[in-house]
Structure 1
Amino acid sequence: MDSFKFYSQSDVLSLVNQRIGEIKLGERVQTVSSLNKLESSSSKFVIFGIPEDIGVRANYGIGGAKTGWTSALKAFLNTQSNSFLSGEEILVLGHFEIDEPTDQTIAGLRNRVNDIDVLVCPIVEKVVAAGKIPIVIGGGHNNAFPIIWGTSLGLKQPIDVVNIDAHADLRNTAEGRHSGNGFSFALQNGFLNQYRVFGLHQNYVNHALPNYIKNNVAIKIAYFEDLLQNNKTIPQNWQEFTIDLSSPCGLEIDLDSIENVLSSAISPSGFALNDIRKILLGNSKKFSYLHICEGATTLADGREDLKIGKTIAYLITDFIKALLPRIYPQL
């Protein structure tokens, strides 16, 4: 049965390579045994995983996104604890354990994504309602919907979201749930206010999308091709694109937006990893959540990328470092 596995301190430490003279983040992070204990934790950031690729396969994609969580967590926990980031501000909650559907047809997979939505949303809601910032590692981009849903319920209002992505993920909701329409469902259900896509590739824009965007004032796009052709840096473009977004606001990073990062939609063209790091390290917004999705160590067709864990770990630590002074002004 589907469930959520809460991590104990021993679960965390089992992933840490301890060395004399060093302290790793995994030796400093907090854990809890239930959601009821979240509010009593001094942590501000809560990390958990959704290791599934059902939503990706429901969108005719290549499976493998379920493999990103464990490698990302291990790389993160083995990052040094130091004056730049201690680890005591962070709680590692655990991960979802999601069963494969018996019906492996597209219809069966899409029905299963509905179940995942209902599983994920309450956990996110509880984390947000406890005053914490979720950092969610996927998994497919279908999970954007329950994350937005849960955040909106936890804050008791719709939220804005900015998505760094080569795709808009605004496919028709009539298709059923999958990784390509999480934001469509969030808009349709009133949980998503303003939606921005930074780095959308023109090659992945279907014929109906431009008119849909034009007729929806809640949606704004920065095309990757336009970013390539102007004289501003990627961080400068990002600043201009997001400056008017209000709080609360969520941040989505689909790893297929970064060139040569292994995902179902891996691409030779995209942002450089260091450009995304610059965006995160220079961030001036107090984001309500971070969702990193679609990355894989191993795809179903056999392709591998052993760097994915460290890639995600860098993004997590950059996000936290930029937010710490805004959460704890004395730092």
Structure 2
Amino acid sequence: MEHVHIYQRDTILPWQIIREGETRIGQVFHFLPNNDTLAAQLQQAKQQGVQFVLFGIPEDIGPRANCGTRGADRGWEAFLKRFINQQSTQFFSGKDILLLGHLDVADLQEKANLLPPTSKDYLATLRELCSQLDERALPILTEVFKAGLEPIVIGGGHNNCYPIIKALYQAYGNHIGCINLDPHADYRALEGRHSGNGFHYANKDGYLSAYYVIGLHEQKNNQAIFDALSEKHFRFDSYQNLYIRREKSLSDSVFDAKTYLLEHAKQFGVEVDMDSISFMPVSAYNIGGITLGDAEHMVYESAQLRQSRYLHLCEGAPSQHPMGLSAGENDVGQGLSSLVCAYIQGRHLVEDM
């Protein structure tokens, strides 16, 4: 299929740590043979015991199109370097994971990088490139869903929620929902595609019918966003409500979100913007967020519902670390890997509420 860079075991060997007497997750991954259509290969992988499909979208066009900073294009590689070298044990083996590869966006990234930020059509051009990203990601993700597999998508910006939600809709039909851990609702105006309005476009286009945001910051979203969420009867628990006023615990918030999604969605996705986590190197650096442990708890609990269909982790930007790229790759890689493990462990405990 066009625009997908499919990995083989040799792809990750330069990053793989081999130690006698130990088995790392990267040593037990499944890979596609790359000798048939993507749909046929995914079906074959499912027959071999695969449940989860790792897929990267290495871009920062969406955040920049939202007047944000660069760096989210490096999140996928930071994750992979860390994740493949975690231990494969009785608690987490990795034997039901397929490492698919990443979306080929190098040409779009190059076009974005050549744009003068002072040009009058800078944002308009980035937003058009973001729409092209949507078009490239959509058919690949749709095939993953149609195969009955669960994509774990590592970005990239939060703009990529739109093609994931649309792909889920095309594979499963209507009544699609999302739970999103994020200080931003990403429900900005419909002004051209970017990382700040993916959920708004998904609702406007008829793909998203239920939406619950956990940790929404009361001062980082404009009033028009709150009005739009209210108009659609979408729900949120603010960061201030959970951590400052402490009127509700995080566990209660996640329980309420799960209950809401069961009532209003037949299938749903788990979304985490890494800028919800304190001191994580991200596109929108945040010193007043939640802990990584709380984010893992939210993902773990959300994943246990039978209707959960994907995990999307976005906005990790290693170059934004105050101590430089190497430190950023370490922190982003650890954070993303921890959240992926939490999701998969939660999926192994699927329940009906």
* Aligned with residue 97 of structure 2, among 83, 90, 101: 90
Distance 1:274 1:4, change over 3 A: same
Task: Find the aligned partners of 1:118 and 1:158 in 2 and give their Cα distance.
Answer: 22
Spell out the pairing of 1:32-51 with structure 2 (5 A cutoff): 32=32, 33=34, 35=38, 36-41=40-45, 42-51=49-58
Letter of the structure 1 residue corresponding to residue 314 of structure 2 = C
The amino acid of 1:322's aligned partner reads G
Aligned twin of 2:240: 225
Letter in 2 for 1:39: Q
Q: Distance in 2 between matches of 1:301 and 1:199?
A: 24
**Match of residue 293 from structure 2:** 274
Provide the residue aligned with 1:211 in structure 2: 227
Deviations 1:68-92 (A, max 9, x none): 1101011111111111111110000
- Partners of 1:52 and 1:133 in 2: how far apart? 21
How do 1:90-239 and structure 2 match up within 5 A?
Answer: 90-98=97-105, 99=107, 100=109, 101=111, 104=115, 105-173=122-190, 175-217=191-233, 219-228=234-243, 229-230=245-246, 232-239=248-255
Whole-Å separation in 2 of the counterparts to 1:109 and 1:303: 26
The CA RMSD over aligned residues, in Å, is 1.9
Between 298-307 and 146-155, the greater mean CA deviation after superposition: 298-307
Task: Tell me what 1:261 maps to.
Answer: 280
Matching residue's letter, 1:199: G
Question: Aligned equivalents of 2:8 and 2:129: distance in 1?
Answer: 29
Alpha-carbon distance in structure 2 between the residues aligned to 1:77 and 1:167: 30
- The correspondence for 2:335, drawn from 311, 319, 322, is 311
Secondary structure of the residue aligned to 1:68 is helix
Q: Which residue of 2 aligns with 1:289?
A: 310
Please tell me whether the aligned partners of residues 222 and 241 of structure 1 are also in contact (alpha carbons under 8 angstroms): no
**1: CA distance between counterparts of 2:349 and 2:250?**
23
**Aligned partners of 1:64 and 1:300 also within 8 Å:** no
Q: Distance in 2 between matches of 1:188 and 1:281?
A: 29
Tell whether the 8 Å contact from 2:145 to 2:168 is kept in structure 1 after alignment. yes
Unaligned runs of at least 5 residues, structure 2: 116-121
Query: 5+ residue gaps in structure 1?
Result: none
Deviates more, 1:295-304 or 1:246-255: 295-304
Deviation at 1:299, TM superposition (A): 3.4
Q: Secondary structure at the match of 1:5?
A: strand
Contact 1:158 1:190 in 2 (8 A): no
- TM-score normalised per structure 1: 0.93
2:280 and 2:320 mapped to 1: Cα distance? 12
What TM-score results when the alignment is normalised by the length of structure 2? Answer: 0.88
| AA of the residue aligned to 1:253 | V
Give the 3-state SS of the residue equivalent to 1:171 in structure 2. Answer: coil
Classify the secondary structure of the residue corresponding to 1:312: helix
Seen in structure 2, the aligned counterparts of structure 1 residues 307 and 272 have a Cα distance that, compared at 3 Å, is same
One-letter identity of the residue aligned with 1:69: W
Give 1:58's match in structure 2, choosing from 65, 69, 79: 65
More helix by percentage: 2
Residue of structure 1 in register with 2:77 after alignment? 70
Aligned to 2:118: none
Deviation at 1:235, TM superposition (A): 2.0
| Secondary structure of residue in 1 paired with 2:18 | coil
CA–CA separation in structure 1 for the residues paired with 2:180 and 2:255: 14
Residues 302-328 of structure 1, C-alpha deviations (whole Å, 9 max, x = no match) = 85423110110010011001101339x
